[in-house]
Amino acid sequence: MICDIKNLRCLLTRVINFCVVGVSILFLVALADIRVVGQGAPILVPPTPVPTLPSADQELLASESAVARIQRDNKVRVGILYNAPPYGELNARGVVSGFDADIANSMKDAWGVEIEFLQVTRNVDSTVRMLQNGTVDLVMSALINQHDVDSRVEFSQTYFIDRQAIMVRVDDPVTTLAEMAGRNIGVVVATPAEAALMRWLQRTGISANVQSFLTLDRAYVALAVGTIDGLIDTEAQLRRISVSQVDSFKVLEEAIEFESHAMAIRRQDTGMRDMINRTLQYLTSTGRMNEIKQVHFPGSAYDVIRPWRNLGDQAPTPAQYSPTLTYPAQYVIPRLQVERVLRVAGLFGITADDTEAPESQRRLDTLNRAIIDELARRWGVTVTYVPDSATNAVELVANGQADIAVGITPDWNMVGQMDFSGYYLVRGDRLMAKVRGETEGFIGLRGGRIVATDINDPEAVTRMRDAADGNVEPFQTRESDFALAILEELNADVAFGDILQLIPHIEQYPDLLQITDEWYSQNVIVMAVPRNDLDFRLLVDYSLQELARDGTLAGLLQPVMLPKDVPVFEMWSGANEFMGFPLTTTPG
């Protein structure tokens, strides 16, 4: 009897494997209710419930950081989805696995603690309650970074960006989202994909015939047999569900909406947030994040997180973070609502008749002033600039003399004094050479070639030699004379400096000079805001994202970044107003 059962199990396993490999369209139609390969979860795990609207429960300030619980118990409790591959699933062995699980396990190894995975769902109310009552210390992927969720939890840095995308049959000639107008589009009911689709239709004014399905499997079958023309879900899910018929479908390059994956924690838990962020950056710097990505999302190198200055080469541990929490004595938004004046630090204060000021500083000042003025216009407030405050901007924000500082390179040595907004500029060291010359990088310069560097930057020569890793000689001059040294005086073969120092020269001599492709250093530029003033930081983040969304930011960046270098900025979905301040108005 036992032998017969084993033989029967073996036979059934072979039949199932054969069916998965040899799946066809007719077979999919006949078995529309059976989950396709890659979508399965252990049968004891219930499906993720339909998400509900957040309740209006009152936000409670934590009396202690989640770090305190981790220190006491020597354990981190991670809320994770059990049936959402490739992010998280309970596999057949009863082990939680996936992209999120691998990151969480790497974090607990860095912290030197144990880990406990607890199942959460996409039900916002229940998952937020688990954070608030301490059942879990952090949540991964179940709560996506969106405006309506931001009012109830706080998020770490984004560690992965997926996208809501549309999949069509491979023989469909469509290549853009606009071409889906008037066609049949399928989506699973009451999911983030459905919400993203509705926002896209409203935002673009495109009309389409939306068909709702109870499961992704049924929607996939409908696409396969031609009942619908396109299927919307995350790119990860679309590629996973079609893995057995990869040559039959294609995913359009254009995104319906981007989806930011970050770790949710209790609001204003600065200790937990800082420990998570520093650990994510540490795992990025060691290459561990790239290793995890290649397992679950093979392809290009991991580039979502950019480590800050002074990260260090040691993993952070819970013992380094305070278990107690400190809250601001005064919040910025209530004061702005009354006084309508934004106090700004960080400008060099260069005047129009100051001919000696470096052009790089002048352009940075112009950019920062333009962005702040645009934010102020949209918020309906006036601006007061603290004069000549580029060198002590962080201190002015920390002591309450300024509400915000611009032009800041994030640095772990500053953490604890203030917080950083999302970045709005990328800068760093590049190489400028003659057009149609032989130089495309430092490799072609080895052997005593001369490199112009900024005489007013004491670290420029050191950075140049580190980047060159070979025999090159510095020629120190002012950044304004880089082109002259190369083209006329012939004192240098190339110039090495910050991209802001080089762009004016290629603008002046577009047919003679070029900037080579490689970055030898790269830093993001952010704004500094008061420590643990979460709502004001969110207002700044949301508003910067709106500047990127409507094209204003790209226009302002033209004098300081090459067009090909402007990144795709992260954008969260949500309302166009926050705490009484409009986020979107017609660009001025």
The pLDDT tens digits for 230-280 are: 999 999 999 989 999 999 999 999 999 999 999 999 999 999 999 999 999
Q: Render 386-413 in DSSP notation, one character per residue.
A: PTT-SSSHHHHHHTTS-SEEEEEPPBTT
State the average pLDDT for the chain: 88
> What is the spatial distance between Cα 257 and Cα 162, in angstroms, rounded to a whole number?
9
pLDDT at 447: 63
How many CB atoms lie under 10 A from the CB of residue 466? 12
Mean pLDDT, range 70-90, rounded to an integer: 95
Q: Inform me whether the pLDDT recorded for 18 exceeds 60.
A: no
What is the per-residue pLDDT across 361-383, written as a single tens digit (0 to 9) for each?
Answer: 999 999 999 999 999 999 999 99
The fold adopted by the segment(s) 429-515 is D-Maltodextrin-Binding Protein; domain 2 (3.40.190)
Separation in Å, CA 544 to CA 202, 378, 422, 490: 22, 11, 8, 43
In sequence order, the 6+-apart residues with CB closer than 8 A to the CB of 151 are: 54, 59
Tokens of 393: 């901007």
pLDDT at 43: 35
Q: Is the dihedral of CA 381, 150, 87, 419 positive or negative?
A: positive
Tokens of 540: 């700044």
Q: Inform me whether the pLDDT recorded for 81 exceeds 50.
A: yes
CB 166 within 8 A of CB 208: no
Give the residue with greater pLDDT, 406 vs 5. 406
Q: Does the domain formed by 332-426+523-582 have CATH 3.40.640.10?
A: no
Q: Inform me whether the pLDDT recorded for 347 exceeds 90.
A: yes
pLDDT at 457: 94
Give ∠ CA 292-298-304 in degrees, rounded to 5. Answer: 60
| Range name among 59-63, 147-151, 320-324, 359-363 with the lowest pLDDT average | 59-63
Q: In which band, very low, low, confident or very high, does the pLDDT at 34 lie, cut at 50, 70 and 90?
A: very low
Q: Inform me whether the pLDDT recorded for 218 exceeds 80.
A: yes
> Which residue blocks in 454-577 are alpha helix, DSSP H?
460-468, 482-487, 499-508, 534-549, 552-557
> What is the spatial distance between Cα 568 and Cα 218, in angstroms, rounded to a whole number?
33
Q: Inform me whether the pLDDT recorded for 581 exceeds 60.
A: yes
Q: Inform me whether the pLDDT recorded for 450 exceeds 70.
A: yes
Q: In which band, very low, low, confident or very high, does the pLDDT at 437 lie, cut at 50, 70 and 90?
A: confident
CB 136 within 8 A of CB 79: yes
Instruction: For the chain, report the end-to-end CA distance as a whole number of angstroms.
Output: 81
pLDDT at 15: 42
Q: Inform me whether the pLDDT recorded for 161 exceeds 70.
A: yes
Give the residue with greater pLDDT, 403 vs 33. 403
- Tell the CATH superfamily of the 66-159+262-320 domain: Periplasmic binding protein-like II (3.40.190.10)
pLDDT at 408: 97
Separation in Å, CA 430 to CA 183, 478, 537, 542, 558: 47, 16, 31, 31, 17
Q: Inform me whether the pLDDT recorded for 28 exceeds 60.
A: no
CB 439 within 8 A of CB 494: yes
Burial (CB < 10 A; 0-12, 13-18, 19+), residue 3, is exposed
The fold adopted by the segment(s) 163-259 is D-Maltodextrin-Binding Protein; domain 2 (3.40.190)
Tokens of 301: 């190198």
Separation in Å, CA 104 to CA 79, 154, 567, 570: 10, 18, 28, 23
Which residue, 158, 162, 164, 183, is CA-closest to 173?
A: 183
Which residue, 541, 220, 531, 261, is CA-closest to 399?
A: 531
Q: In which band, very low, low, confident or very high, does the pLDDT at 471 lie, cut at 50, 70 and 90?
A: confident
pTM of the entire structure?
0.86
**For the chain, what percent of residues have pLDDT higher than 90?**
74
Mean pLDDT, range 348-364, rounded to an integer: 89
Bridge partners (DSSP) of residue 211 are 186
Q: Is the dihedral of CA 348, 361, 382, 396 positive or negative?
A: negative
Counting Cα atoms < 13 Å in the Cβ hemisphere of 63 gives 2
pLDDT at 575: 75
Mean pLDDT, range 461-476, rounded to an integer: 89
Tokens of 267: 């609001």
Helix (H) or strand (E) holding 529, with range, is: strand 523-530
Cα Rg, the chain, nearest whole Å = 27
Mean pLDDT, range 422-441, rounded to an integer: 89
| Range name among 70-84, 297-311, 397-411, 434-448 with the lowest pLDDT average | 434-448
> What is the spatial distance between Cα 370 and Cα 448, in angstroms, rounded to a whole number?
43
| Range name among 40-54, 87-101, 320-334 with the lowest pLDDT average | 40-54
Q: Is 103 helix (H, G, I), strand (E, B) or coil?
A: helix
pLDDT at 588: 59
Give the residue with greater pLDDT, 36 vs 452. 452
> What is the spatial distance between Cα 411 and Cα 402, in angstroms, rounded to a whole number?
19
> What is the spatial distance between Cα 546 and Cα 349, in angstroms, rounded to a whole number?
27
pLDDT at 394: 96
Q: In which band, very low, low, confident or very high, does the pLDDT at 432 lie, cut at 50, 70 and 90?
A: very high
Q: Is 49 helix (H, G, I), strand (E, B) or coil?
A: coil
